[in-house]
Amino acid sequence: MKKYTLSFWEANMYSLLAYIPIIVGYYIPYGFLYGWSSFGVDIIQGIGNPLFFLIIIFLGIVLHEFIHALSWWWMDDIPWEKIHFGFKWMVLTPYVHCPEAIEVTNYRWGVAMPGIMLGIIPYLFALIFQNGWLLGFGFFFTLAASGDILILWLLRDVRSGKKVQDHPDLIGCKICK
């Protein structure tokens, strides 16, 4: 059984490398449209009340994991009671785990959806409306999805139609026979 996994520590470290293209990819379009200094200024002004923003971030982190679960449940008809949520205290990382085998394309979509819904879409609205709050929210949740981006990178050579099983202890999955 081939594994496509990283430890939670490895995922957190490699995620830092993924931050570079995310930062560049968000900064350049926003700076081009609204001025190069506006990226940081708009985020700071958009946050407004830091306590409120932190509460929203916390709720968004919970929602991020829920979106993974909801996607797998909906796309691959996984029974909801089979999906488990938890938190790895040693690396301060929330997680969702689905022990059922999932078709790899559905698994990929389930991995990608939180980054799309909480990161990319709010960022696109921030670009359209020059909204600092949406910019900060979308930027944060795209960075938060960097571990998910790593999983998608690990699975880049796995052909559609294969079944994968979420790994119980590591970030990623294994191919089912």
Per-residue pLDDT tens over the stretch 145-158: 999 999 999 999 99
Residues in the chain: 177
CA pair distance 82, 46, nearest whole angstrom: 39
Top pLDDT among 92 and 161 is at 161
Quick one: what percent of the chain has pLDDT higher than 90?
88
What is the pLDDT, as a whole number, of residue 172? 94
Q: How far apart are CA 8 and CA 176, in angstroms?
A: 22
pLDDT for residue 66: 98
CA 126 to chain centre: 18
**Is the pLDDT confidence value at 1 over 90?**
no
Q: What is the mean pLDDT of residues 55-59?
A: 94
48, pLDDT greater than 70: yes
Which of 161, 159, 175, 148 lies closest to 3 in space, CA to CA?
175
Q: Residue 156: phi, psi to the nearest 5? A: -60, -30
Residues 6 or more apart in contact with residue 96 via CB below 8 angstroms: 65, 66, 68, 69, 83, 84, 85, 86
When pLDDT is cut at 50, 70 and 90, the band that residue 12 belongs to is confident
CA dist 48 and 71 (Å) reads 32
Asked whether residue 60 carries a pLDDT value surpassing 90, the answer given is yes
Q: What is the pLDDT of residues 96-132, one digit of tens each?
A: 999 999 999 999 999 999 999 999 999 999 999 999 9
Residue 177 has pLDDT above 80, yes or no: no
Q: Which amino acid is at 138?
A: G
- Report the pLDDT averaged over residues 15-34: 96
| Helix, strand, or coil (residue 82) | helix
Cβ-based burial of 161 (10 A; exposed 0-12, middle 13-18, buried ≥19): exposed
> Pairing between strand 101-103 and 163-166?
antiparallel
Alpha helices in the chain (DSSP H): 8-34, 38-47, 50-76, 104-114, 121-129, 132-144, 146-154
**Mean pLDDT, all residues of the chain:** 94
Q: Residue 40's pLDDT is what?
A: 92
Contact predicate 102/161, CB 8 Å: no
Residue with tokens 């026979």: 177
Mean pLDDT of 70-91: 93
